[in-house]
Amino acid sequence: DTEVTQTPKHLVMGMTNKKSLKCEQHMGHRAMYWYKQKAKKPPELMFVYSYEKLSINESVPSRFSPECPNSSLLNLHLHALQPEDSALYLCACSQRAVGDTGELFFGEGSRLTVL
């Protein structure tokens, strides 16, 4: 079983809706990530949180708003999305320790469809 849990697994929303994707990890890791993955494409980094602070924002449109309430939780708030935002959204975490490889541990993803 994965130690990174994402909810919901599937989400369908209209362009005027506001929804959130949630991610929880119980690995004690202090870096958390959001990736976006379109079909048959590699994951693309969106955001990185390190020690609950946003450390990387890959020029993501403001209709995506990340939040890291504590070291175990990562949210992605969605508002006024476009159909092209339909994708698999992957959450991941990694350690922040000396000598750490930087391996990412992924959740199973939230499959988003924007109508």
Partner 1 sequence: AQKITQTQPGMFVQEKEAVTLDCTYDTSDPSYGLFWYKQPSSGEMIFLIYQGSYDQQNATEGRYSLNFQKARKSANLVISASQLGDSAMYFCAMREGQGGGNKLTFGTGTQLKVEL
Q: Which of residues 20-79 bind partner 1 (CB under 8 A)?
A: 29-31, 40-45, 48, 50, 55-56
In angstroms, what is the C-alpha Rg of the chain? 14
Q: Can residue 100 be called a binding residue for partner 1 (CB under 8 A)?
A: yes
By CB under 8 A, tell whether 5 contacts partner 1: no
Find the shortest distance in angstroms from Cβ 88 to partner 1. Answer: 6
For partner 1, give the closer residue by CB, 66 or 107.
Answer: 107
96 binds partner 1 (CB under 8 A): yes
Q: For binding to partner 1 (CB under 8 A), which residues are involved?
A: 2, 29-31, 40-45, 48, 50, 55-56, 88, 90, 92, 94-109, 111
